[in-house]
Amino acid sequence: MVDRLTLTTLVSAIITMSSLVISITIVALSMAATQFGSRVVRASIT
């Protein structure tokens, strides 16, 4: 039972960290788009 609880906690922590990283990346890209224009953002993605 302890192993299942540990695994559940670990998986939820990984999902939380992944969603946080994705959110920060989206915010950074949108700030770059407003500051530098869409050409720079397109160039950095590709």
Asked if residue 8 is part of any domain, the answer here is: no
CA contacts within 13 A on the Cβ side of 24: 6
pTM of the model: 0.66
| 4-46 pLDDT, tens digit each | 999 999 999 999 999 999 999 999 988 888 887 767 667 777 7
- The answer to whether residue 23 sits within a structural domain is yes
Whether 5 is in a domain gets the answer: no
Task: State how far Cα 46 lies from the chain centre.
Answer: 18
Residue in 39, 36, 9 with CA at minimum distance from that of residue 28: 36
Q: How many Å apart are CA 46 and CA 42, to the nearest integer?
A: 6
Task: Tell me what pLDDT residue 5 has.
Answer: 92
Helix (H, G, I), strand (E, B) or coil at 9: helix
Say if 36 falls within a structural domain: yes
